[in-house]
Structure 1
């Protein structure tokens, strides 16, 4: 078998629709995204844990719709008029809990985007009532949105996400190693990211391919 060579290359995430692996855990969310522009009230929320593919779905939708994409923490009232002229996605709304200026900017962006006849996509960890928003008018508008939930991952999705993250790093462990990792790691997207990063670093530092031997070392308590 040819030896896997590892190079310290930049990570380039593949974020096209063809790169999005569909499983029962995310099929409903994908279906709602792809139902654009027929969203109830002109807006949609994608809710899911860190690493679950929310940003990937945002990029899929941005490609479909020509949307602008902005992090909630970067919102200011000054950029609202420009953003509202197009469909717009606001990522990680939970990160502006306790940030009055960003919440006010999102409130105005919500109203102006819909008034312009455009659509709004928002993402966050948990449902909108769990985002910690304390601007009452904004919270009421978030609670009125349809929520597309990214469910806890099944084995197929965990393996697909792990394979994709290795692929983004131009690495290709064999299927037996991937199966071993999925069977023995914590069942979360966050742990997938941790395991992939640690295996990449270990493989690079020791100039060894990613095998079960390295996988066991990363997974050992």
Structure 2
């Protein structure tokens, strides 16, 4: 697998079973823990099969919840385990997408807040929790709010979301964001001049997913045009960058 591909690279162990396009393959190693070290360690343990069977992540959009869930699935797959990432509330999917997932080692449910107040979805997620527990499988879920703040109609589902540890993800500080940019660029072997780093931190979202995707785009365009990263090049990329959560 390569980190600069234009879409998901399926393997027998990892399937993103929706048409989800990834600029790169998110990994746990490239997520700079910063203030979220405990949560990252917990996700790593669950992905390996050695940690808590149920984890709930919550926090604002810029904290990289989606990155951690996708990275957990990739880590599980690379360890020979079966994993699925599912963004709840995505248009075009129905509750029956959760059927039979208990046969997998790890399920990652993103955006749980999007199905709050929808009885069919709430029942489907509740039933999945029960089946996963019966089979000794693992689940990592994420939402914008903690379980008690979700507008859930099914009280039993709220109780399931309290089964394991819950972690509030915090945004990276500016120094952490700068470190993340520079480390990601260094791994790719591209120079990132200080003025380019400052421009990115001033004009681009600082969530881990957005920053790492931007570095991947910089790497790709620099290679294609055979030129080092400059502010005009980064500005061009940012105009086309749809961002991520």
Change (3 A) 1:66 1:89: same
User: In the alignment, is the contact (CA less than 8 A) between 1:48 and 1:151 conserved in 2?
Assistant: yes
**Residue in 2 that maps onto 1:140:** 159
**Residue in 1 that maps onto 2:54:** 43
Matched residues in 1 for 2:129 and 2:208: separation? 30
Scaled by the length of structure 1, the TM-score of the pair is 0.69
2:78 paired with 1:60: no
Q: Which moved more, 1:137-146 or 1:114-123?
A: 137-146
Q: Secondary structure at the match of 2:34?
A: coil
Match of 2:85 among 50, 53, 69: 69
Q: Secondary structure at the match of 1:17?
A: coil
Change (3 A) 1:70 1:186: closer
Shift of residue 45 of structure 1? 0.9
**Residue in 1 that maps onto 2:41:** 31
Q: Which runs of 5+ in 1 are unaligned?
A: 1-8
**Residue in 2 that maps onto 1:109:** 128
**Residue in 1 that maps onto 2:148:** 129
Q: Secondary structure at the match of 1:15?
A: coil
Change (3 A) 1:176 1:125: same
Q: Secondary structure at the match of 1:26?
A: helix
Matched residues in 2 for 1:212 and 1:88: separation? 40
| Larger RCO, structures 1/2 (Cα 8 Å, 6+ apart) | 1
Report the aligned-residue RMSD: 3.8
**Residue in 2 that maps onto 1:5:** none
Q: Which runs of 5+ in 2 are unaligned?
A: 7-21, 239-245
Q: Secondary structure at the match of 1:90?
A: strand
Scaled by the length of structure 2, the TM-score of the pair is 0.63
User: In the alignment, is the contact (CA less than 8 A) between 1:92 and 1:125 conserved in 2?
Assistant: yes
Matched residues in 1 for 2:34 and 2:192: separation? 25
Matched residues in 1 for 2:82 and 2:155: separation? 30
Shift of residue 109 of structure 1? 0.4
Matched residues in 1 for 2:25 and 2:182: separation? 12
Shift of residue 60 of structure 1? 2.7
Matched residues in 2 for 1:23 and 1:191: separation? 13
